[in-house]
Amino acid sequence: MQVFHQMGHNFVWNIHSIEQDGAGDGVIISPVNINRDNIEGRFSLKLREMSWFDPQFYRPQDNKGYLETYSFFPGNVVADYNTVDFTDHADSVGRKCLEYQQSLGLRQLVIPTRYSEAAGSVDLEDLASLYVEPFLKAYSDLNYKKPLLLTIIIKESQLVSEPDRDELLSWATGFAEIDGVYLIFENSFKTKQIVEPSYLASCMRFINALRKNSLSVHVGYSGLEGLLYAAADATSVSVGSYENLRSFNISRLDSTDSGMQQGPRPRIYSGKLNQWIVDTTLAPLRELYPDWQQLFDDTPYKEYLLDPQSSLNFQRSEIYKHYFNAFYQRAKLLPDDLNERTRFLQAWANESIELFGEIREAGVLLGPDSDDSHVIAWSNALAMFSAKPMP
Amino acid sequence: MSKLKNANFSSELLLAEHAQALAKQTSGIASGSLHVKSEVKAPGAIPDLVFYKKIGKHVHYIISIELKLSDWRRALNQSFVHRNFSNETYVVLDRAAIGPALRNVDLFRKANVGLASIDPIEGAIVWTCPKPAVPFSYEFSAVFTKNLLSRKNLPENVPYARSARGKVHLSEMRSTFVNYITDHVEPNRLTPNSTLQPSLDPELPTLPLRSFRLKCS
């Protein structure tokens, strides 16, 4: 399974991580965060050839900030964007957007989607006529050969509703020219990690169904649970720095959004625990749990992060570079054989649960945002998926 | 959050005000040899009440209190974070909400966090006391002490809360502290419906005090 960097604010960290540390298989370029004129300067051709561009038409009416520099963005083509007026421009937008992606020398091309605020099913006919078909026409007219991905956002309500989910699956698998899906799961969980095993199992089944239709599946905005998707044969998952890149929320794509959280406590990724450990827990671990350093993966940043004298705050790049590095190492340890992968992931979850038990026994309270509830959910989700791998 | 049926306090603010008033009655605070502050900012936490002893310009002992109407589990997690910069930490709940916490008192002991309850008539009852300890983090203690004293800079190597004096010395200081804030020790008195078997902690004093009663095991 490949790992791509979901780019956002401070994307230079991602570039550094992939170019200097070799962590990651490419990046997903985010126009919300960069002026069009700077892309070729900031991303070397070598990096672009490993990467792709997310056109981010999620809110086509919002063309402020850097989006203003992309002439093909719907809000720049139609003043006071509305679907009726946009219909006349859809073909030219599709063509210009694809031509731009092609000109960057990227590994694959992307058909964007728009975000629907409505809780129920989205209007798939509307999506097809405004975005998918114009892009497919342009792809064919321009005789492009690079793999073509279709962007899909699937809401929690769609995932659990059989008719909605089946309709979306039928729709997504109905375009012969499409090579794969850029898949984004949207949920409304309030916890830092997903602790609903049935939801996770449903995500895995959805991925599996797409894969069984010979589509590549690139899961965007994924968090630690991305590792689980390997059991469903996801082609790639993503890593991101701030939390809004590890879980999809449309507000992250506000062109006025700074992309930063309001000063959360710094957290350090532990591969063995499959969890982010908040800095206020490091000192108790140091005092009470003798093997505490072993919980954290060996990366060039580990020593700095575990040094109590480091002035950690959530904007330190070392936190995220450590995560990119450690997560990537773990993803690469996964076996190719799918059955073996599932057993591997189950063993990782069990090891984490055991370690959490030892930590508790040592007298360290990890708190709800750093504990093992999600790993228990992983273990259950893997079992549920193994028992019923298709939706 | 739903309100408790027999809650003594209608809001956390009222609980905090009552706890502060109680604290100010204690002889140590009244005489000025001990200090109390509310809502002092710390790395990753803001304890509701902080008792501390100051000698000269130096803070020598810190007790942090987390007040909650209910939700003992959340309070316990927060109080455990206070151990990064405190010598002792306590969860103080509305007396009406103490039952579920008492049923899980072993978790408090395991985490070395004290548990107390408060109500307008009985005052405060300490159900379990933590063992005095050096705060987990030197760095967090330094930041917290600066905030406590409202100082931007502290001289290097000041003997503030995380000193290297060792447990014995800390225990002595803690005993002094508890002398000030403890009404009297009732080692063998069981509260109705309580499963606790309080016993006298040899480290704790048996001196007559005013506002707080202690039932430590």
| Same domain membership, residue A189 and residue A161 | yes
- CA A304 to chain B, closest CA, distance in angstroms equals 15
Task: Give residue-wise pLDDT tens across range B99-108.
Answer: 999 999 999 9
Look at residue A2 and give its three-state secondary structure: strand
Burial B20-37 (b: 16+ CB within 10 A, else e): bebbeebebbeeeebbbb
Choose the most confident range, by mean pLDDT, from A188-192, A287-291, B199-203: A287-291
d(CA A287, CA A295): 14
| Same domain membership, residue A272 and residue A248 | no
d(CA A92, CA A105): 20
Q: How many domains does the structure of chain A reveal?
A: 2
The percent helix, strand, coil of chain A (3-state, each to 5) is 50, 10, 40
Residues of B in contact with A363 (CB under 8 A): 110-112
Contact between residue B114 and residue B101 where contact means Cβ atoms under 8 Å apart? no
d(CA A170, CA A127): 14
| Same domain membership, residue A310 and residue A215 | no
Lowest mean pLDDT among A35-44, A281-290, B48-57, B127-136: B48-57
- Residue B48 DSSP one-character state: S
Collect contacts of A240-243 with beta carbons under 8 A, ≥24 apart.
A240/A5, A240/A6, A240/A7, A240/A8, A241/A8, A241/A9, A241/A10, A241/A13, A241/A14, A241/A320, A242/A8, A242/A9, A242/A314, A243/A192
Task: Give residue-wise pLDDT tens across range B66-104.
Answer: 999 989 999 999 999 999 999 899 999 998 889 999 999
At residue A79 the predicted structure's pLDDT band, cuts being 50, 70 and 90, is confident
Closest chain B residue by Cα to residue A311? B139
Q: Which of A128, A211, A216 is nearest to A178 (CA)?
A: A216
Distances in Å between the alpha carbon of A323 and those of A246, A276, A305, A309, B59?
12, 9, 11, 20, 38
Phi, psi of A279 (to 5 degrees): -60, -25
Residue A262 inside a domain? The answer is: no
Residue A62 inside a domain? The answer is: yes
The CATH code of the domain that includes A212 is: 3.20.20.80
Closest chain A residue by Cα to residue B43? A280
Closest chain A residue by Cα to residue B80? A365
Q: CB neighbours of A343 closer than 8 A, spacing ≥ 6?
A: none
User: pLDDT at position B55, please?
Assistant: 72
Predicted confidence (pLDDT) at residue A100 exceeds the cutoff of 60: yes
Residue A155 inside a domain? The answer is: yes
Per-domain residue ranges for chain B?
A: 12-120+133-167
Q: Which amino acid is at A71?
A: S
Residue that is written with structure tokens 């009985």 in the block: B122
| Same domain membership, residue A326 and residue A221 | no
Which of A204, A225, A253 is the C-terminal boundary of a domain?
A: A253
Question: Beta-carbon neighbour count of residue B6 at 10 Å?
Answer: 10
Candidates A279, A365, A369, partner chain B, best to mutate (most B CBs within 10 A) = A365
Distances in Å between the alpha carbon of A122 and those of A57, A58, A126, A162?
15, 13, 9, 14
| Same domain membership, residue A349 and residue A244 | no
Residue A360 inside a domain? The answer is: yes
Q: Which amino acid is at A176?
A: A
Q: CB neighbours of A270 closer than 8 A, spacing ≥ 6?
A: A276, A277, A295, A296, A297
- Residue A33 DSSP one-character state: G
Residue that is written with structure tokens 């031509």 in the block: A99
Check: complex ipTM more than 0.90: no
Burial A332-367 (b: 16+ CB within 10 A, else e): eebeeebeebbebbbebbeebbebbeebbebbbbbb
Question: Beta-carbon neighbour count of residue A141 at 10 Å?
Answer: 12
Predicted confidence (pLDDT) at residue A360 exceeds the cutoff of 90: yes
Lowest mean pLDDT among A189-203, A246-260, B34-48, B111-125: A246-260
Residues of A in contact with B137 (CB under 8 A): 283, 308
Task: Give residue-wise pLDDT tens across range A196-222.
Answer: 999 999 999 999 999 999 999 999 999
d(CA B124, CA B182): 9
| Same domain membership, residue A154 and residue A20 | yes
Percent with pLDDT over 70 in chain B:
63
Mean pLDDT of chain B: 71
Q: Which member of A265, A283, A365 has the closest CB to residue B137?
A: A283
Architecture of domain B12-120+133-167: 3-Layer(aba) Sandwich (3.40)
Q: Which of A68, A174, A70, A172 is nearest to A122 (CA)?
A: A172
| Same domain membership, residue A189 and residue A42 | yes
Percent with pLDDT over 70 in chain A:
96
| Same domain membership, residue A275 and residue A226 | no
Residue that is written with structure tokens 């405190």 in the block: B86
Predicted confidence (pLDDT) at residue B149 exceeds the cutoff of 90: no
The two beta strands, B123-128 and B114-119, are antiparallel
Closest chain B residue by Cα to residue A288? B136
At residue A254 the predicted structure's pLDDT band, cuts being 50, 70 and 90, is low
Lowest mean pLDDT among A77-86, A116-125, A230-239, B194-203: B194-203
Residues of A in contact with B77 (CB under 8 A): 365, 367-368
Task: Give residue-wise pLDDT tens across range B18-32.
Answer: 877 777 766 566 667
- CA A283 to chain B, closest CA, distance in angstroms equals 5
Q: Which member of B44, B112, B139 has the closest CB to residue A308?
A: B139
| Same domain membership, residue A184 and residue A125 | yes
Lowest mean pLDDT among A84-98, A188-202, B56-70, B191-205: B191-205
| Same domain membership, residue A295 and residue A216 | no
d(CA B6, CA B93): 13
The answer to whether A368 faces chain B, any CB pair under 8 Å, is: yes
Residue A260 inside a domain? The answer is: no
| Same domain membership, residue A99 and residue A190 | yes
Residues of A in contact with B111 (CB under 8 A): 363, 365
d(CA B1, CA A254): 32
| Same domain membership, residue A170 and residue A26 | yes
The answer to whether A369 faces chain B, any CB pair under 8 Å, is: no
User: pLDDT at position A314, please?
Assistant: 92
Helices (H) and strands (E) in chain A, counts: 16, 10
Distances in Å between the alpha carbon of A168 and those of A120, A147, A236?
12, 21, 21
Which domain covers residue A52, as residue numbers? 2-253
The two beta strands, B123-128 and B184-185, are unpaired
Predicted confidence (pLDDT) at residue A148 exceeds the cutoff of 50: yes
Q: Which of A14, A2, A96 is nearest to A47 (CA)?
A: A14
Residue A126 inside a domain? The answer is: yes
Mean pLDDT of chain A: 93
